[in-house]
Amino acid sequence: MKSFSWLLTAMLTLSTIGVGQTKKTESDLQTVMIKVPTVVCNSCAKTISSAVKKVEGVKSVSVDAEKKVAMVKYNPTKATLASLEKAIADAGYNANDTKRNQEAYEKISECCKIDVDEEE
């Protein structure tokens, strides 16, 4: 009998923790896909994700170097798509129709440079 009540207490405790962990903040966030055609490798991807993470309201960033897209999850009341694009451009990479900052581009690794502007 004693072990039964212990089990019941344990179950109640676990279910209480489970309820406490349910948060609905995720629904306030927006996910956007940004085209980053000048990304070459994973090092570029890291540069972009660390730059975008510095933007206020950004929750997560994942850059796919092969597909050349950045998926950004952010709080739309704090960040805007334009501010995300600007952060990427300031890191030296094109973002959608926002052209990269040329000065920042000069500073990135030699192997990461790609002249897309001439191809267009």
Applying CB under 5 A, the residues found at the interface with Cu ion are 40-41, 43-44, 112
**Helix/strand/coil (H/E/C) assignment for every residue in the chain:** CHHHHHHHHHHHHHHHHHHHCCCCHHHHCEEEEEECCCCCCHHHHHHHHHHHHCCCCEEEEEEECCCCEEEEEECCCCCCHHHHHHHHHHCCCCECCECCCHHHHHHCCHHHCCCHHHHC
Residue whose CB is less far from Cu ion, 43 or 83: 43
Least CB distance to Cu ion at residue 89 (A): 16
Residue whose CB is less far from Cu ion, 45 or 87: 45
Least CB distance to Cu ion at residue 47 (A): 7
Residue whose CB is less far from Cu ion, 81 or 112: 112
Least CB distance to Cu ion at residue 27 (A): 35
Residue whose CB is less far from Cu ion, 63 or 79: 63
Least CB distance to Cu ion at residue 75 (A): 29
